[in-house]
Amino acid sequence: MDPSYEQERSKTRKRFIIIGLSSIILVAAIVGTVVGVTQSKNNKSNNNEDSKVSSSVKAVCGATLYPDSCYNSLAPMVKSGNLKPQDLYRLSLQVAIGELSYASKKFLDVGVKEMNITDKRTLAAISSCQELFSLALDHLNSSLSVPNSKLLDSFHDIRTWLSSAGTYQQTCIDELESASPGLSSLASTYFQNSTEYISNSLAMITTIDDLADSNSARSLDNAQLAKDGSGKYRTISAALKAVPEKSDKRFVIYVKKGVYVENVRIEKTMWNVMIIGDGKANTIISGSLNNVDGTPTFQSATFAVFGKGFIARDVQFKNTAGPAKHQAVAMMSTADHSMFYRCTFDAYQDTLYVHSNRQFYRECDIYGTVDFIFGNSAVVIQNCNILPKKPMQGQQNTITAQGRFDPNQNTGISIQNCTIRPAGNLAGVNNFLGRPWKDYSTTVFFQNVMDKFIDPKGWLPWVGTSAPDTIFYAEFKNVGPGAVTKNRVTWKGLKLNLVDAQVKKFTVGPFIEGDKWLPSTKVTYKSGL
């Protein structure tokens, strides 16, 4: 992330309608469209039908952040007032897919070409955007593929996919911002409609109901690799070529002791891959890509995971670029149901990119300096060691930078029962729990042990002297000298007096639905408080 990035514009808070109220409106709209439909050929009947269509669409769109764009995009397509909210949601998805497909093609084929770009960093950011558009369309199409009869069963999956689709698009704009602010501004213009349409679809599915389900299967060891040639493969990338596409069975790769200098990608078609090492001090995967040398943040990860159901255990992921190279990611996961156990993540700025979808980290060591746990996933980090280390001169350490930009997204960083202490001498360095990357940044620290090196103010603004009122930051039942809250910042969005029931929703069970998919990993975890 570029620290100079300005916070996106404030969203209209009043439009985040309470789910219960919007549900009542939806029911009333449906009843109004069903009762009184008669067979009539006169103009009055046609006018009544048009009125019912308008009322039905307006009622559904009233639950979105962008009711005008919602209504204007859907009303021309709706010919009957008898459509259910599920049908309007499906139409909204179709509109979003069409708009993103059109806007991405126009941006790349017209906008970018007309600027005659030759700068290496900007071209790399554009390359990131191409991949991100593909990922966003994949998630939108996955959401559309769920039939109405399965929407309730797949509710949390769909909500996650739509949250991630929006995040992919926003990441493109963020990547361009650090390379070419002018091009980033152009992209924001091109993708304004698709951003709003994805948000509208997310709001609609949020109002329908909540329940979801997803499971994976597993098997045993499939591949071994070693630096000394004692395994079948010498590199992880070579072993990954044996992974079947979109398999429901677990594909296990055992990586023997050694330092593997390579940049690894678990592609989106590589489902249920598991990497097992000989211990986080023994099996090390290392890279050095970084922003200063021209690699966008999204592409800088030593190890990048896109395929769902990924597991890593007993491995160290490292980016050796150093603090002067700024953004340099050790691990990036954009994979749903990704889980990391007894791993180490070691870099400086932007160490752990918890980009999107549902993730879980247990008994890991996380080292870094600036924004070193960041992204817009729904993630629980549990029983880990969080270890800020010495940054560049003049820098301040910030542990988290959460990227939620839409209040309907089900994302946030949840840090539970961890130990937060310095890695070495941090005398003269200001250390903060985090700063809000986006307007609805959501981060909760609870039941942790905090050493005294944490600045008494606790939190740092992204820009200026305060934070948006729309953020949700919380501290709950932490202990240690760094957990004292009497001198914390007085932001409206910082909650210091929550009760158990309010914090519980950020635990493994409800927040990432861990009880449904973590048992298959055979890793110990705590479901609640």
Residue of 157, 336, 350, 371 marked catalytic: 371
**Three-state DSSP class for residue 407:** coil
**Do residues 299 and 178 make contact, with C-beta atoms less than 8 angstroms apart?**
no
**Do residues 100 and 136 make contact, with C-beta atoms less than 8 angstroms apart?**
yes
**Do residues 472 and 502 make contact, with C-beta atoms less than 8 angstroms apart?**
no
Residue with tokens 């390579």: 262
Cα gap 518→525, rounded to integer Å: 8
Find the distance separating the first CA and the last CA of the chain, reported in whole Å.
32
The answer to whether 371 is a known catalytic residue is: yes
Strand order across the 303-305 sheet:
264-266, 303-305, 331-333, 352-354, 370-375, 397-402, 431-434
Element (H, E) at 388: strand 385-388
Cα gap 15→306, rounded to integer Å: 33
Element (H, E) at 225: strand 221-225
Helical H segments across 19-66, by residue range: 19-34, 43-61
> Cβ contacts of residue 11 below 8 Å, gap of 6+?
65, 406, 407, 439, 440, 470
Torsion on CA atoms 356, 360, 364, 366, rounded to nearest 10: 20
**Do residues 162 and 139 make contact, with C-beta atoms less than 8 angstroms apart?**
yes
Token pair belonging to 281: 């001090």
Helical H segments across 75-208, by residue range: 85-106, 112-114, 120-145, 155-179, 181-190, 192-208
Cα gap 144→94, rounded to integer Å: 8
**Do residues 305 and 236 make contact, with C-beta atoms less than 8 angstroms apart?**
no
**Three-state DSSP class for residue 311:** strand
Cα gap 163→404, rounded to integer Å: 9
Q: Which residues are catalytic?
A: 371
